[in-house]
Amino acid sequence: MLVRGALKRWADKASERVLYNEAVRRSDAYVGQKTKKRQEPRPQVDGEAEAKRTARTRARRRVSAKYAPPQTDDELARRLKEVGDFYVCFVCCWRAPR
């Protein structure tokens, strides 16, 4: 009984090791495929088209026109009232019978 249990544990660990090594091999093969595809050069039509493509895909950062200090509580309350009044007026006009 003791030997049978030890052999079973050894077989289970061995099969886990085989599965793990196979998964690592498949992962390495997949990574190799991805890098190989990335390294393939794209056909160059002309330099001008490439320049346009890179300019279009380049990230643009929003630049504020000028610095504005944070609004005070009074300014925020006034703005909320303006927007609230506009919203009430809009909803009343939109739901009015025609």
Nearest-5° angle of CA 23, CA 28, CA 31?
125
Read off the pLDDT of residues 31-83 as tens digits, 9 standing for 90 and up: 888 776 666 666 555 555 555 656 556 666 777 678 878 889 999 898 888 88
Give the pLDDT of residue 26. Answer: 93
Q: Contact at 8 Å (CB) between 50 and 44? A: yes
Which residues, including other chains, have CB under 8 Å from residue 79's CB and lie 6 or more apart? Answer: 71
Look at residue 98 and tell me whether its pLDDT is greater than 90.
no
Look at residue 24 and tell me whether its pLDDT is greater than 70.
yes
Domain map (residue ranges) of the chain: 1-39
Give the pLDDT of residue 48. Answer: 56
Count the neighbouring beta carbons within 10 Å of the beta carbon of residue 51: 10
Give the pLDDT of residue 91. Answer: 59
Give the pLDDT of residue 57. Answer: 62
